Structure 1
């Protein structure tokens, strides 16, 4: 399950990520709570904040992949970590001085998004340089486990700190946490990295990456799944906060608990993926999305806060099964010189759609209630899985390779009835 950790460079990277991701999740909770305090519980303001944080990915996300292919990924990551630490420090100082206004949060959220434009595809593509292709699925799953382990701990710590001393110190803790990543990157042995040859600067590299993905039907199907689920089904950062505050009338500590329960499921799903660690198939992605959609609908309909918390666990498992498999599928299916640009497009679809989805989700939550917003996201995820399954069915060209733009082979995707059989059997998850 943990074979990637035999690699010294990856151990250093993972250790830094544990610390930094914990701080990042603490800041996410504190940022949401600060916005709700400054705007007296406005779901629209919360959606705008989330949207602004991801807007740069929508505007410039593809260029981040070009940067990842052109330059040393290790050095690029050092620059992005320093940038994000400085932004967290500024927000912490504003909050602690009592001068923070909602437009400050909007501006700094946008600045954080600019840093992640480059950081996300670079960090994703850097994993294979540390562990190689053989251990890549395992490393991606462990990255998800690390991220969600921090997601389990971070919100709980943030809730306690906010209740005890306010939001400001939480931002300062996150600023300090980026030092762990910088130390890990600095201590790596460069000779042990499987460094891909940097792509020389040339015109048309962005268009080249888009043409490459457009000519790969298998990649396009994965991106379609990721796009719809991320836009409509993965806005828990908004909906959980509003359910905790507006539906069940709980405080910051209870909101942190809800985020942690979702993280328990996500962590479990990531560990299961690490144990499997084989090359995923499209039918696994479709099954995971279908299960996630059904569970999300059930979560939105739970009558009490306790049952709502319980349902977040299996929902998180299904979601993490899908996202881990999607990431591994994209990275293992492309050439090294294209990986940065492909992952830039993947992160654009995965995270850059938030500026479109988050304000709309915030508006829906304010107009129809947080419960119906969660249910709507689950319905969209379920319908997307069924539509993609139908599109992926062979149409007389099953013998053609996906790399040639042909249909996905019959052994990869079958009708939704087979997916239902696999779900009831509990296999492959």
Structure 2
């Protein structure tokens, strides 16, 4: 029988609570910012060019993480995750403040938006690993998984309500006020970080053979058929599944024929689905999750995209299905990767997994944004849908791509 514990037990840790609460506010601000930047891009260009520019923004925000990840880890070890995390929050707050000023003065142009997106991407490259490392430094090992689950919960809540808040703020106060709100949401976390005690000392940087360790990680992944196929599914998900939400500003305006408020409702529906998916996946034991056939969730992502393509107003409902399927897929692939990785190899296997998701999503969004410029955003969603459905059918028919997941019960 599964053993259940208090799902909020990590919040009893003083330092984690001081991080979690203001981080919740900051994540909502980040979702507001993401919504508004995409909407600014939509209104800077003609309808047939907006999707391509949104894709370019996503690419510029994602590439720094891919390029800088190894260097980021070294810098975090040198200066400590708390200090690096604090710096990223200050940079992001200044970025949002500058966006508010440029929009308020009505002088924002495409080049400025791209430059600010690159700056945000560089900050994000440091933010993601420093945040994960920081959480590990302030909670004991027995609370780490619960702390990460609580962070996933607030991320999905922010994903659910952030776009809706953005829509209402812009409707009643204007675009520039939305960016001001985002800038202000960083302040509680910046202040709170100054009062958090880092319990674990920062380790001194040790010289190691980076390339030898990297090759060992690649060899380990290449030797595991289950990991290879799981990573293949993750690539399909990142390239074909993620653009559903990343290009939704253009789809909402060009296919659904709605405004920012309608877009916020669509993304709110997706966030609610993601939250439900996270709760369902989180209620199950890891032994069960790792044996899910992840291609089934790619099918559901593809089918929800297909229905949205055939009848765009259905996106209000299909986004719920899409969000739930994406979250369960992500949880399945993530859990399986960690489940199959020995402790001495886990960092490298997870870095390869993260590279697929971080690199695949902006590349896919960029390419399909360009395709949308050529054939229209609605038709592009049709291409995405058929690609994911085709992958599912291929997995079902090609024997070499089928997995005996029941054998995973004996891994540990």
Q: TM-score, normalised by structure 2?
A: 0.85
Identify the residue that residue 235 of structure 1 maps to in structure 2.
243
Identify the residue that residue 372 of structure 1 maps to in structure 2.
379
Q: Please point out which of 175, 182, 207 is paired with 2:183.
A: 175
1:36 aligns with 2:32: no
Cα 1:179–1:384 shift into 2, 3 Å? farther
Identify the residue that residue 411 of structure 1 maps to in structure 2.
407
Identify the residue that residue 15 of structure 1 maps to in structure 2.
21
Q: Deviations over 1:244-289 (max 9, x none)?
A: 1011221111111111111110111122233336356443261553
Task: Judge conservation of contact 2:304–2:321 (CA < 8 Å) in 1.
Answer: no
Identify the residue that residue 83 of structure 1 maps to in structure 2.
91
Task: Judge conservation of contact 1:22–1:150 (CA < 8 Å) in 2.
Answer: yes
Task: Work out the CA distance in 1 between the residues paired with 2:269 and 2:22.
Answer: 23
Cα 1:114–1:411 shift into 2, 3 Å? same
Q: Please point out which of 73, 90, 102 is paired with 1:94.
A: 102
Deviation, 1:20, is 0.6
Deviation, 1:387, is 5.9
Q: Please point out which of 152, 157, 160 is paired with 1:144.
A: 152
Cα 1:198–1:342 shift into 2, 3 Å? farther
Identify the residue that residue 3 of structure 2 maps to in structure 1.
none
Cα 1:140–1:289 shift into 2, 3 Å? farther
Deviation, 1:381, is 3.6
Task: Judge conservation of contact 2:100–2:176 (CA < 8 Å) in 1.
Answer: yes
The DSSP-based 3-state class of the residue aligned with 1:45 is helix
1:25 aligns with 2:31: yes
Task: Work out the CA distance in 1 between the residues paired with 2:231 and 2:203.
Answer: 25
378-387 vs 212-221, which moves further: 378-387
Identify the residue that residue 4 of structure 1 maps to in structure 2.
10
Q: Deviations over 1:46-87 (max 9, x none)?
A: 211121111212322343344445552222211222122221
Q: TM-score, normalised by structure 1?
A: 0.82
287-296 vs 318-327, which moves further: 287-296
Task: Work out the CA distance in 2 between the residues paired with 1:10 and 1:377.
Answer: 40
Task: Judge conservation of contact 2:229–2:401 (CA < 8 Å) in 1.
Answer: yes
Cα 1:277–1:365 shift into 2, 3 Å? farther
Identify the residue that residue 219 of structure 2 maps to in structure 1.
214
Unmatched 5+ stretches in structure 1: 395-407, 414-429
Task: Judge conservation of contact 2:233–2:295 (CA < 8 Å) in 1.
Answer: no
1:257 aligns with 2:265: yes
Identify the residue that residue 296 of structure 1 maps to in structure 2.
304
Deviation, 1:106, is 0.5
Identify the residue that residue 123 of structure 2 maps to in structure 1.
115
Task: Judge conservation of contact 2:274–2:323 (CA < 8 Å) in 1.
Answer: yes
Q: Deviations over 1:155-175 (max 9, x none)?
A: 111111222232212112212
1:272 aligns with 2:280: yes
Identify the residue that residue 366 of structure 2 maps to in structure 1.
359
Task: Work out the CA distance in 2 between the residues paired with 1:126 and 1:288.
Answer: 35
Task: Judge conservation of contact 1:293–1:377 (CA < 8 Å) in 2.
Answer: no
Task: Judge conservation of contact 2:99–2:176 (CA < 8 Å) in 1.
Answer: yes
Unmatched 5+ stretches in structure 2: 1-6
The DSSP-based 3-state class of the residue aligned with 2:257 is coil
Q: Deviations over 1:13-52 (max 9, x none)?
A: 2212210110000011110111111113322112111211
Identify the residue that residue 223 of structure 1 maps to in structure 2.
231
Task: Work out the CA distance in 2 between the residues paired with 1:338 and 1:70.
Answer: 22
Q: Please point out which of 179, 198, 208 is paired with 2:203.
A: 198
Task: Work out the CA distance in 2 between the residues paired with 1:302 and 1:323.
Answer: 26
Calculate the aligned-residue CA RMSD, in Å: 3.0
Deviation, 1:323, is 1.6
